[in-house]
Structure 1
Amino acid sequence: MRQLFLALIATTGGLSALIWLTQSLRFVSLVVGRGLSLRVFLELTSLMVPSFVAVVLPITTFVVTLFVYHRLSGDRELTVMQAAGLSPFALARPGLICATVAMVVTFTLNLWIVPASYHEFKQYEFQIRNKMAAFMLQDGVFTKVSDALTVYVRERGHDGSLKGIMIEDDRVANSRATIFAERGTMLVVNDQPRVVLYDGSRQEIDHRTGRLTMLLFDRNTIDLTSSKNQENRSRDASEMSLSELLHPDLTQINIRDRGKLAVEGWRRITTPLTAFSFAMIALVAILRGAFSRHGNITRPLGAILSVVGLLALNLMLQNLAGRNMALIPLILLESAAPAFICAVLLFGPEIRAGRETAAIVRQTQEG
């Protein structure tokens, strides 16, 4: 039990860290380009870690169970325990407990922690892209606040005052403007970054006539978010709760996305079952079969190929079920059936032997 849990924690942590490292690289340019700190980068990317753990935990449970039991078999420890009279169920009990714990943890991650953390991640990313970046204006630098908004500040004071401001505002396609101001001040209104400009001008070109129009102002306020419509962004399926996925509000979603939402909901339910099924495959590969003095690589290799095949089949079923919701029950069957089949193969002879022994005892007592 100790070997299983220590190996499971180490393997899951190491693999999750590796995935976090590779996935977080795509956010380096976002953070560096916005001039944000290392703390912001770590806070943003750490919100993705629960989803990584939920994905790798069923696989690491299989790998750890297979490795630990195979090592026990190679060191002849399983042979000694079997000779001492331990049943297959007694030998498999530590692996079953480890698989059950992994299944419960995956359920907790999929149903509560991952949706909440992914929602926070999307909110934080949105805040960085559309709000926080506006406060990272640097002296003498053209800061690209968004794809359609560029700000230049000649000088910035510690109190938030700005001097020598130029803004290129292309957020409205037919009304692109260049704004100049002698000075300005950064403000936050309703959690939105704004800059109040003083003594400036707003220049636009009428594309129909080609004439330049200029508006002089003493005071003007500019919203520095990339788009007001983005404030009410549509939520991703990974952010929704299980009830929202299985019983969506059809007035809020596209009818074509209903199958994808249902598949996502059933994926959260069935993925934890695969952790138990994969562990059972590993137990059957090691505990069932004749002992070989020279070792046997065939059964572990067969178990690995079986798990790879089940993962590929699961992905295929999810893609098909997204188009045809009648195939969704096959996802549940594919996740739970291997555990049941392996339980019959591993514990079936023991159960039958117990029944036969009980029948002999009854006959003896009756005789």
Structure 2
Amino acid sequence: MLKLDTIDRYVLRQLLLALVATTGGLSALIWLTQSLRFVSLVVGRGLSLGVFLELTSLMVPSFVAVVLPITTFVVTLFVYHRLAGDRELTVMRAAGLSPFALARPGLICATIAMIVTFALNLWIVPASYHQFKQYEFQIRNKMAAFMLQEGVFTKISEALTVYIRERNHDGTLKGIMIEDDRVANSRATIFAESGTMVIVDDQPRVVLYDGSRQVIDPKTGRLTMLLFDRNTLDLTSSKNQEIRSRDASEMSLSELLHPDPAQVRARDVGKLAVEGWRRITTPFTAFSFAMIGLVAILRGAFSRHGNVTRPLGAVLTVVGLLALSLLLQNLGGRNMTLIPLILLESVVPGIVCAVMLFGPEIRSGREAASQQVQGN
């Protein structure tokens, strides 16, 4: 007779290997599709492949956090369904293993997935996403100025366009024209014979030589021209670009659940609360989804010809729960009294499945204990 711990290790090893492979493959696929949005940074601004990979890799933890509950369900359903198809579950039942003993490897795998999802949602994803946004901001608003191309109108921002005729190997710029609309009602066109790029206080600036600054007064239509021998121009998008508004995905859990009224608009409080509760409840969905897969395979009589009805029902159940979760998050952002339903939707399916799977075993154990007491 096989030892129980040997069976646990055998099934758990299959579950964990499949979980790592499936989660990694699906996350890589999502990363590939999402990273295409940043190809323009490499092509249009001359960034290296290393910078591109470093930037996009910071999004990977968020992908893993999203797909891990789903892959936990898929792996649990697939592995146990294969064990049932190969008659291995039949042998285990004949050896005297209870439903709880059969489900124990799946429960361990689900618990590991739940803990990993907690770590991702509460610590890793906010930190990595914050680094991603900071890096993207730096590339788009600071490094862009150093990626000026010859003979191309480079749009550094919505209010700043730069053209250079020639760029020498030593970094000297020739034939410079700058369209600067950063100051309201004061559009300026700047021409310079030459210039060079410098960094001042971590900001890109261009030092212009032998040029002119032309401004047209919008009220009078009068042209004002200022000639200069040397002038320094800041190439950041605006003075307010240094303070970047943070996305909800970057905030900590305490900031989401207890936002500062001075920094958060009243209409956004519900959205932040939903994001906070989503981080708390998503790990429980990993456990609940795994329980749905276990119930689909372990509960019910074995069929020689296979049974696709229960696995198909499990898949449809999970799809319905995912749709319900999105609906509740959308409604909770508008009406905060519905937010507790997000927690119920994550936890209740797991509890119901546990009762369905282990309830008969618990009741039979109680009845046996009761009969033994009466017999004594």
Q: Does the pair score TM above 0.5?
A: yes
Q: Give aligned-pair identity as a percent.
A: 85
Residue in structure 1 matched with residue 4 of structure 2 by the alignment: none
Question: Structure 1: which 5+ runs fail to align?
Answer: none
Residue in structure 1 matched with residue 324 of structure 2 by the alignment: 313
Residue in structure 2 matched with residue 287 of structure 1 by the alignment: 298
Residue in structure 1 matched with residue 9 of structure 2 by the alignment: none
**Inter-partner Cα distance in structure 1 for 2:148 and 2:329:** 45
Residue in structure 2 matched with residue 129 of structure 1 by the alignment: 140
Amino acid at match of 1:245: L
1:57 aligns with 2:84: no
Question: Structure 2: which 5+ runs fail to align?
Answer: 1-11
Amino acid at match of 2:167: R
Aligned pairs (5 A) from 1:199-348: 199-348=210-359
1:162 aligns with 2:173: yes
How big is the shift at 1:354? 1.1
Residue in structure 1 matched with residue 30 of structure 2 by the alignment: 19
Aligned pairs (5 A) from 1:168-187: 168-187=179-198
Pick the aligned partner of 1:101 from 109, 112, 118: 112
**Inter-partner Cα distance in structure 2 for 1:82 and 1:227:** 70
**Inter-partner Cα distance in structure 1 for 2:325 and 2:231:** 57
How big is the shift at 1:64? 0.4
**Inter-partner Cα distance in structure 2 for 1:310 and 1:139:** 54
Amino acid at match of 2:92: M
The alignment of Structure 1 onto Structure 2 pairs a total of residues equal to 365
SS in 1 for 2:339: helix
Pick the aligned partner of 1:352 from 360, 363, 370: 363
Greater alpha carbon shift after TM alignment, 190-199 vs 259-268:
190-199
Residue in structure 2 matched with residue 147 of structure 1 by the alignment: 158
**Inter-partner Cα distance in structure 1 for 2:257 and 2:118:** 16
Amino acid at match of 1:311: L
**Inter-partner Cα distance in structure 1 for 2:204 and 2:246:** 23
- Structure 1 runs (4+) deviating above 4 angstroms are none
SS in 1 for 2:54: helix
Amino acid at match of 2:44: G
1:7 aligns with 2:18: yes
Residues 177-211 of structure 1: per-residue CA shift (max 9 Å, x gap): 11111222211112111111122110122222222
**TM-score scaled to structure 2, two decimals?**
0.94
How big is the shift at 1:314? 0.7
1:83 aligns with 2:83: no
Residue in structure 2 matched with residue 196 of structure 1 by the alignment: 207
**Inter-partner Cα distance in structure 2 for 1:211 and 1:168:** 18
Residue in structure 1 matched with residue 6 of structure 2 by the alignment: none
Amino acid at match of 2:120: L
SS in 2 for 1:330: helix
**TM-score scaled to structure 1, two decimals?**
0.97
**Inter-partner Cα distance in structure 2 for 1:282 and 1:114:** 27
SS in 2 for 1:291: coil
Amino acid at match of 1:228: K
How big is the shift at 1:173? 4.0
Amino acid at match of 2:361: E
Residue in structure 1 matched with residue 8 of structure 2 by the alignment: none
How big is the shift at 1:156? 2.8
Residues 91-146 of structure 1: per-residue CA shift (max 9 Å, x gap): 00110000000000000000001001111111111111110011112233332222
Pick the aligned partner of 1:32 from 43, 46, 65: 43
**Inter-partner Cα distance in structure 2 for 1:235 and 1:42:** 23
**Inter-partner Cα distance in structure 2 for 1:336 and 1:230:** 42
Residue in structure 1 matched with residue 5 of structure 2 by the alignment: none
**Inter-partner Cα distance in structure 1 for 2:18 and 2:352:** 26
**Inter-partner Cα distance in structure 1 for 2:326 and 2:61:** 21
1:115 aligns with 2:115: no
Greater alpha carbon shift after TM alignment, 264-273 vs 36-45:
36-45
Amino acid at match of 2:303: S
Residue in structure 1 matched with residue 7 of structure 2 by the alignment: none
Amino acid at match of 2:270: G
